[in-house]
Structure 1
Amino acid sequence: MTPSTSLIERSEKLLLLGVGCYFLFANFTPVFVTHSFVACLYLAEALLDMTFTVTRQRGPLSHNWRDWLVAVLGTYAGLLVVATPHVSPLLPSLLCGSLALLGILLSLSAKLSLRRSFGIIAASRQLKTGGPYRVIRHPMYAGYLLMQVAFLLQYPTAHNAVVLLFTWWMQIMRINAEEKMLAPRSEWVGWSKEVRWKLIPFIF
Structure 2
Amino acid sequence: SNPVISWSSIDYFGRWKGLHYYARRFYAPCLISCDDTHRKKPVLNISNERMTAFEGVVKWTLRNNKAEILQSGEKSVNVPALTAQNVLTIDLSDDLKNRTDPREKYLEYSIMENGKVLSFGTTLFVRPKEFTFLEPKITYGISESEDKFALTFCAENYAKSVCLSLKTADCVFSDNWFDIHGKEPVTIMIDKASLSRKMTAQELSGELEIMHN
Q: TM-score, structure 2 length as denominator?
A: 0.27
Which protein has the bigger strand share? 2
Higher relative contact order (CA 8 A, sep 6+): 1
Which protein has the bigger helix share? 1
In our comparison, the structure showing a higher alpha carbon Rg is 2
Q: TM-score, structure 1 length as denominator?
A: 0.28
